[in-house]
Amino acid sequence: MKEHNVVGHSVRRLDAVAKATGTATFTTDLKMPGMLYGKVLRSPHAHARIVNIDTTEAEKLPGVKAVATYKNTPRELFNTSATMTFTQPPQRPVLDQYIFDNVVRYVGDEVAAVAATSEKIAEEALKLIKVEYELLPAVFDPLEAMKPEAPVIHESDKKNVPGEVIDIPVGDVEKGFAESDLIIEKTFKVPVQKQAQMETQAAVAHFGMDGNVTVWCTTQTPHPVKQILAKIFSLPESKVRVLNPPYIGGGFGVRIGLSAKAEPIAVALSMLARRPVKVVYTRKEDFIASDTRHSGYVTFKLGVKNDGTFQSFKLSSVLNGGAYCSFSVETPAVLGSNGIAVYRCPHIHYFGHSVYTNTTPSGAVRGFGNPQAMFAIESLVDIVAEKLGMDPLELRLKNILQVGDPYPLPYKLRSTGLAECIKKGAQKIGWERRGKLNQPGAKKLKGIGVGIGTHGSTAWPFCGDYSNAYVTVQQDGSVHVASGVVDMGTGTITTLSQMAAEVMGVGLDKVNITVADTASTPFEIGSHASRSCYSAGKAVFLAATDVRKQVLEYAGELLNVAPERLEIKDSVVCFAGQEMGDDCDGPERKSISLKEVAYHAHLHSKAFIGVGSPDSDNAPPWHAHFAEVEVDTELGQVKVLRVVAAHDIGKAINPMIVEGQIEGGVLMGIGYATSEEIKYNEKGKQLHDGYHKYMLATADDIPEIDVIIVEANEPSGPFGAKGVGETGMIPTAGAIANAVYNAIGVRICEIPLTEERVYRALKENIK
């Protein structure tokens, strides 16, 4: 494999100093002359109709400059998620939200908002708004919400089911079961998980005297947000500018599209007050009024031959979509499509959908439905292995997809390092120790488990997904990259800059980058779906290749040599293979600095501008996680001792960033498996609405994590890279659940594996 000068090296992140020294700027830091502060009045009821709303007293309060309700804001339906802008025909996006409505559908739904000269005044004004509600019946469980007697939350073709039902048939699944020697079926229950990103939802909007709207916000997708806001406020898209300022504090999917409703509320208040308005959610608001992971039920039925060959499998899901659609059509689609793409099987059927309930809307979270699928699938594969008397690794290696196998998804399977991930991970964890970890009579029992999986590197072809980039050479020989992608803490600006530097033959210090600004970058669908390195990276790679070609052609004329004989090394255009320092002046010179070329071109009215606009594509990364756990059989407490995470990510552009992404994903997966869960009371109020109540995995919960990078070159990726952002948490819950079973011999089909849940399962098993 070719050695690179910048790509493949763990260079320090370009934003490291700014973030480490506290000088990095986030939306919350923004201040503008005359800026107002917006606060939101939220529903105390799970389902109700607003009979009357009186804002008179609030408007009289000194310092209050605007009060917004459903009566004085646009009545334009939208979807807060970016799906509104990239759903592919003939499917249509589900539009079911207004900025404010006269019906509220969950505790926390928006009722009104105030803009005032201080946050305190805005909060006082909220108390003066008088609202009369007519209570409506509510439902909180997706299975209950589908029953005929359940209340209608939104009108839809199928009772409380938003949009399309996902139905993927391959072969004849019933015929496959008839030909199977062993059939096992189980239903698994998965919880509500919160992204728990550090920066809460926020936006600053400025409606200018010229009719232009500028919004600084925490979105992961500036260009789609521009489109959504333009539609809501009936503005030309050219009148709306969206940007990050310049950082956002994490995302994990919670702001693919709008930042909950921070942007439209801020814009509406700015239009009413004719002044800039900042809206920043409190942590509680972030929990109760921004998307969560879909909870619900996943059922997996597997038929196998006695030798372990997978013959037929049926996967289904019923997910809790909450009060509004958001990504509730796409999430079950990803759950099914990735769930059926791990194992070779001639007969497959997936059927899944979401259901409206009167709970906080569910949306995108790292893994996007895939962790729900793989917890169920990997648990059942272990059950089948035990029934067959096979080693779980042997059963997996026998059935995993290989290049050349029929691939159930509508893009090519060009590479897989999954078998290598399984073998290397097993060796690292010490798989041979499994079953030999415990002494007779021990109260704390240890176990080892495995979970595997795959994912995508973009969202295409399930929805629109594409990138563009510009790369220019400045007159001083430096390189400038323009990409609409967002760096939400993932190291994106560093990774993209490394790619540009490598192609251009310059040092990383010669590259500058502009990201996340709709006014200065070409259209980019945004940072999600593990796509930034693969898709935005490919756009940068092509744009840099384009501009490099222009530079070599121009330099070739100056050096009187064919451009194909030239290359760029250390910012110097020279003969290919030439040792640096061999250049000379005069007509026979053999090299010229990039700075000289750029300035010479500048003086002759020539600029070097490269464009990268690749075709949409996708590539599956692969992963195998091994978990070692200890279960206290007297307390039910599960402690994760160690995780080995082996990942095929194509090419690691920056190995340190890749390892960081995987480690973060593993910790999020540990929380999903063992502690994180949002519950509601009988009236639909969130019981876990802040960091003090929500059992987020913390530094104390971090076990030893060994990351193994497997580089199965991906032909479609830039430098062979695939996506990695979401993959760290996809197989983790399955691995931990299997490790817990290996430790205590009790199968628990519901996560998180809390002390209470494990203790109860142990007691029931004794009975």
Q: How confident is the model at residue 741 (pLDDT cuts 50, 70, 90)?
A: very high
**63-79 per-residue burial string, b: 16 or more CB within 10 A, e: under 16:** bbbbbbbbeebbeeebb
pLDDT at position 219: 98
| Residue 579 reports pLDDT greater than 70 | no
- What is the arithmetic mean of pLDDT over 160-165? 96
Say yes or no to pLDDT of 589 above 80: no
Among 183, 186, 226, CA closest to 203? 226
d(CA 424, CA 421): 5
Supply the pLDDT for residue 744: 97
Q: What does the pLDDT look like over 73-129, one tens digit per residue? A: 999 999 999 999 999 888 999 999 999 999 999 999 999 999 999 999 999 999 999
Q: Quick one: pLDDT band at residue 528, thresholds 50, 70, 90?
A: very high
629 with 459: CB under 8 angstroms? no
Distance CA 110, CA 328 (A): 20
Residue 181, SS3? Answer: coil
Report the share of the chain in percent with pLDDT over 70.
98
pLDDT value, residue 581: 54
pLDDT tens, position by position, 172-230: 999 999 999 999 999 999 999 999 999 999 999 999 999 999 999 999 999 999 999 99
Query: What pLDDT sits at residue 384?
Result: 98
Q: State phi, psi for 569 to the nearest 5 degrees.
A: -130, 130
Which pLDDT belongs to residue 586?
56
Average pLDDT over residues 637-641: 98
Burial of residue 335 (CB within 10 Å: 0-12, 13-18, 19+) is buried
User: What is d(CA 246, CA 484) in angstroms, rounded to the nearest whole number?
Assistant: 12
Q: What is the pLDDT of residue 577?
A: 78
- With 80 as the cut, is the pLDDT of residue 585 above it? no
> Is 155:71 a contact under the CB 8 Å cutoff?
no
Return d(Cα 638, Cα 127) in angstroms, integer: 45
- State the average pLDDT over residues 713-729: 97
pTM of the model: 0.96
Q: Is 90 exceeded by the pLDDT of residue 580?
A: no
Angle between helices 655-674 and 370-388 (to 10 degrees): 70
Report which of residues 480 and 576 the model is more confident about. 480
- In 534-686, DSSP assigns E strands to 566-569, 572-575, 591-593, 608-612, 622-632, 637-648
Q: Return mean pLDDT, the chain.
A: 96
Give the tokens for residue 95.
């539009």
What pLDDT does residue 766 have? 72
Once rounded to an integer, what is the mean pLDDT over residues 293-319? 98
Q: Say if residue 3's pLDDT is above 90.
A: no
**Which residue, among 295, 346, 442, 330, has the nearest Cα to 83 in the 3D structure?**
330
